[in-house]
Amino acid sequence: MSLNRHLSKGRTLARTAGDHAADMFAPITLIGRGLRRHAEWAKGRWQATPKDRRGPTLFLCAAMVLGIFLLPHGPLFTLVGLMASAAWVGRAPKAPPAPPEPDVAEVKLTALYAALTPYLASPDDLSPLYGNENGFRTAFGSWEFDGDGRLTELELAYPAYFTDTEPAARARIEQVVQGKAGRAREYRFDWDEESNRLRVSALAPLATDIAAQRFVTAPGEIVLGFTDEAGSRRMIPVTQAGVSAQQPPVIWRTGPRSSEPHLLALGATGHGTSTLIRSIALQALPFADLVLIDGAGTGEHACLVNRPGVHTVETSLHGTLAALEWAAQETARRLTALNAARHAGTTPPEDVTRPLWLLLDHPTELSELAHAEGRPDPQDLLETPLRHGRAARVTVVIADDIEARDRITPTLRATTRARVVLGPTTPEEGHAALGAPLDIVPAAHAPAGRGYARIGTAAPVRLQVPATVDPLDDEAPAQLRDAVIALLPHRDTRTEAAAPAAAPVAPPAEPVRRAGEQPAGGLDDLTGDVLAERPVELGKEHTPVRPRPVW
């Protein structure tokens, strides 16, 4: 008999013995499984019992065991009942283990690979990188997911014949990737055209709890908002949620040495363009004079009316035209005075060196009204301040709706090279507003004040405008309103209680004097225990010398 036959016969005998042993020990296995399940049930009930009730429960169980032991044939009946119960409970086989959950990367990357295939595959390609026969591992180099199963990093390759230099082709790929990875976040797309590789990174949301405050900046610097660490080389201290923190700002440098002296901000309605105007106004007031035009007429800038340093806040077409005509004449006067001082070698007068800011909120609405009435376009009156504002210390800031971009004059678009776009925008709108393509795909839903900024020829960066609410808006949070009120040039009497009035005292008879004549007596001539309260002039510590508008 050969060795193989011996081995085969031995395997058959072992299998038969095992089957007989399993049949013989099946009742014991059944009862053992039931006893194990009874023990697991008892352990679970004991762990679920509160600690203050475990003592009485243990005493009750001991009393039951003692009672069973004292009954005639009690232990025997208890043992038979326990075996029968264990056999009944153990009759069901052990539950099979739950199937493992599918790998998140396998599911999502397979779907993303299938979605990219129609755009990155060609029927003429003999060895396609994207195809139905291939898997995502042939095209995706590396990837990373967070704890919630969302894609955070991805590097993929694309064929050399893909037109990666065309913005439309790029936009299609970016839209597909964002749709499969999640539209609730922003993604940065880094196209490596030399290596035919694309790196996708999910960006963390920017902080939205930074309120209006005094920022640590140099003279002439304006904090437009805050960005991420990749968008700024600078950090400034801010008060965030009641604590001090360091945040990277988006700085706009103004003044005669600025390469971008004027700013154009576009955005969707209700996404923070007026908030940006208020933030810039509060930062410029300590060192400049303001002329503010509220073209929408919503009254969101009424908190600046009659404030020291604010020439006027206009909402009507007549007042706007008068204010802008004065601004054009003031720009010419400043240029003349500065040129005369340079030729004479003297110091320029203070009223021409103090910066003047022209802030216009939705001026295109006034332009349409002016065209309907046959009056000059307010945007045309800005030509002199825009072209000569840097030399004359005149800065123009314009905020308007992104849909009104085509109604902005070419001169205004050409001279405002500092750009801001707020709110959700399409790649085409972002490119037209900023003058450069965005390498960041916006999220589907953006908070107020969220957008992008581009200063001159620099790359666009993310932007979150500080929460600068209207202090006259009762629906705004009180903490944010108080932060704005604290930055206004003088006290706001709406929120500060008036001083308690003193007891009325009959004033002494005062001789009648002519208009403009000063009283002969001084402080010592006043009689009575209580001095008459005189009005206090609220203003800046150093009142600037500046011309006043005559309209």
Sequence-ordered alpha helix ranges (H) in 293-354: 317-344, 350-353
* Cα 430 from Cα 437, distance rounded (Å): 7
* Cα 139 from Cα 158, distance rounded (Å): 7
**156 φ/ψ angles, rounded to the nearest 5 degrees:** -135, 155
- Amino acid (one-letter) located at 274: S
CA-to-CA dists, residue 534 to 138, 505, 518, angstroms: 84, 15, 15
DSSP state of 211: B
Q: Determine contact, residues 363/413, Cβ cutoff 8 Å.
A: no
Whether the model clears a pTM of 0.75, i.e. scores above it, the answer is no
- Amino acid (one-letter) located at 78: T
Place of tokens 């001991």: 62
In the prediction, which pLDDT does 90 show?
Answer: 73
Annotated binding site: 267-274
DSSP 441-502: EPPSS--TTEEEEEETTSPPEEEE--B---TT-TTS-HHHHHHHHHHSSS--TTTSPPPPPP
In the prediction, which pLDDT does 542 show?
Answer: 40
* Cα 335 from Cα 418, distance rounded (Å): 23
Annotated binding site for ATP: 267-274
Provide the residue-wise pLDDT of the chain in tens; the chain has 551 residues. 566 666 677 677 777 766 666 666 677 777 777 788 888 888 888 888 888 888 888 888 888 888 887 888 778 878 878 788 877 777 766 666 777 777 888 889 999 999 999 999 888 888 888 987 778 888 999 999 988 888 999 999 999 999 988 888 998 999 999 999 888 889 999 999 999 999 999 999 999 999 999 999 998 999 999 999 888 989 999 999 889 999 999 999 998 889 899 999 999 888 899 999 999 999 999 999 999 999 988 889 999 998 999 999 999 999 999 999 999 999 999 999 999 999 999 999 998 999 999 999 999 999 999 999 999 999 999 999 999 999 999 999 999 999 999 999 999 999 999 999 998 888 888 888 998 888 888 888 888 899 999 999 999 999 999 999 999 998 999 999 999 999 998 744 444 433 344 344 344 334 333 333 333 333 333 333 332 333 333 333 444 445 555 45
Compute how many other C-beta atoms are within 10 angstroms of the C-beta atom of residue 156: 24
Nearest in space to 264 (alpha carbons), one of 425, 424, 435: 435
In the prediction, which pLDDT does 3 show?
Answer: 63
DSSP state of 253: E
Token code pair at residue 2: 């050969």
* Cα 354 from Cα 356, distance rounded (Å): 7
Residue 468's contacts (CB-CB under 8 Å, 6 or more residues apart) are: 211, 212, 275, 276, 278, 279, 282, 480, 484
Q: Determine contact, residues 487/212, Cβ cutoff 8 Å.
A: yes
Q: What is the 3-state secondary structure (H, E, C) of 125-146?
A: CCCCCCCCCCCHHHCEEEEEEC
- Amino acid (one-letter) located at 26: A
In the prediction, which pLDDT does 398 show?
Answer: 96
**346 φ/ψ angles, rounded to the nearest 5 degrees:** -110, 170
In the prediction, which pLDDT does 211 show?
Answer: 93
